[in-house]
Amino acid sequence: MKHFRKLTIPYIVWCVIFILIPLLLIAIYAFTTGGNEVRTLNFTLSNFAKINEATYIKVFIKSLELGFLTTGICLAAGYPLAYIISRAPEESQDMLIMGVTIPTWINMLLRTYAWMNLLSDNGIINTLLGMLGIDPVHMMYTNFSVILGMVCNFMPFMIIPIHTSLRKMDHSLIEAAMDLGANPFQTFRRIILKLSMPGVINGVVLVFLMAISSFVIPKLLGGGQFVLIGNLIESQFISIGDWNFGSAISLILAAIILIALRLMKKMDLKEVEEN
């Protein structure tokens, strides 16, 4: 046991240096003012009060709108795909899931630039449309381009948790329901959907949190017209240099993430108790 405890020391040191200390600094800057030098900081709540301004409220609302829309599309498209994969032969499922995860092996920045080449006015899609005699379609720097980029980047994080729940499901329950006279819709609603809810909850929370905190996709595919929470934090730290306000926004986003994770855990426990 002592040997295993020693193995955890590097992990603990890593967490303290790269997780705990940065979080502590963010908390300090969020409740202080006076610039980026610790010795000049003064306690204040003005950083949080500043978030009530109309400009920043719109940023939060826009982030939530795109987050909900992205999550809904990922769920609507990801659940059927996860179900189809789970019904495939056992030896084929791992290969299919690998096909889903392969895009995540490529850096997100490169994937986003690829979408820019596809969706731009002179991109591949409009070039193909022109060859068919169809007028070019403006797709870049719109809600469509931002949501499409988010959906394609975050879809694997919806499919994999749902597939995991479906794969672990006892298929004899489905056979029993059908033997008792349940039609396909009743079987899906009362058995399949209910047993896959832990995966659905995990996927929804993961995609939603990544969508509202994303800053690369809105910045590139939105052309700077879409300012979400992630873009706002980036601009405060890098462009404007207001670390105090940026830390306050980061702290609020961290609180949202913790609350979502807590709700996810409670819903998971509720599902386990019901089953």
For the segment 104-126, the average pLDDT, to the nearest whole number, is 88
Output the pLDDT for position 33: 80
Query: What's residue 37's pLDDT?
Result: 58
Query: For residue 60, what are the CA distances in angstroms to 65, 72, 183, 233?
Result: 9, 18, 43, 12
What was the pLDDT predicted at 180?
76
Q: Which residue, 163, 209, 190, 168, is CA-closest to 63?
A: 209
Mean pLDDT computed over 54-66: 89
- Alpha carbon of residue 70 to chain centroid: 9
Instruction: For residue 159, name the pLDDT band (cuts at 50, 70, 90).
Output: very high
Helix (H) or strand (E) holding 239: none
Predicted local confidence at residue 258, as pLDDT? 83
The confidence band for 69, taking pLDDT boundaries of 50, 70 and 90, is: very high
Helical pair 243-274 and 21-30, crossing angle rounded to 10 deg: 120
- In the chain, the percentage of residues whose pLDDT exceeds 70 is 92
The enclosing H or E element of 142 equals none
pLDDT for 218-250, tens place per residue? 888 887 777 888 888 888 888 888 888 989 999
Tokens coding 106: 């490529």
CATH topology for the 54-274 domain: MetI-like fold (1.10.3720)
Distance of CA 140 to the CA centre of its chain: 22
Spatial CA neighbour of 234 closest among 204, 213, 210: 213
Alpha helices (H) in the chain, listed in sequence order:
2-15, 21-30, 46-49, 54-86, 90-101, 108-119, 124-131, 143-154, 156-168, 171-179, 184-187, 193-195, 197-213, 216-221, 229-234, 243-274
pLDDT tens-digit readout, 242-272: 888 989 999 988 888 888 778 777 776 665 5
CA 228 – CA 230 distance, rounded (Å): 5
Q: Which amino acid is at 52?
A: N
| pLDDT at residue 2 greater than cutoff 70 | no
**pLDDT tier, 131 (very low <50, low <70, confident <90, very high otherwise):** confident
* 38: pLDDT strictly greater than 60: no
C-beta separation of 161 from 199 below 8 A = yes
Radius of gyration of the chain from Cα atoms?
Answer: 23
Instruction: Report helix, strand or coil for 43.
Output: strand
Please give the Cα distance from 253 to 238 (Å, whole number). Answer: 18
User: How do the domains of the chain map onto residue ranges?
Assistant: 54-274
Q: Is the dihedral of CA 156, 161, 165, 168 positive or negative?
A: positive
What does the mean pLDDT of the chain come to?
A: 85
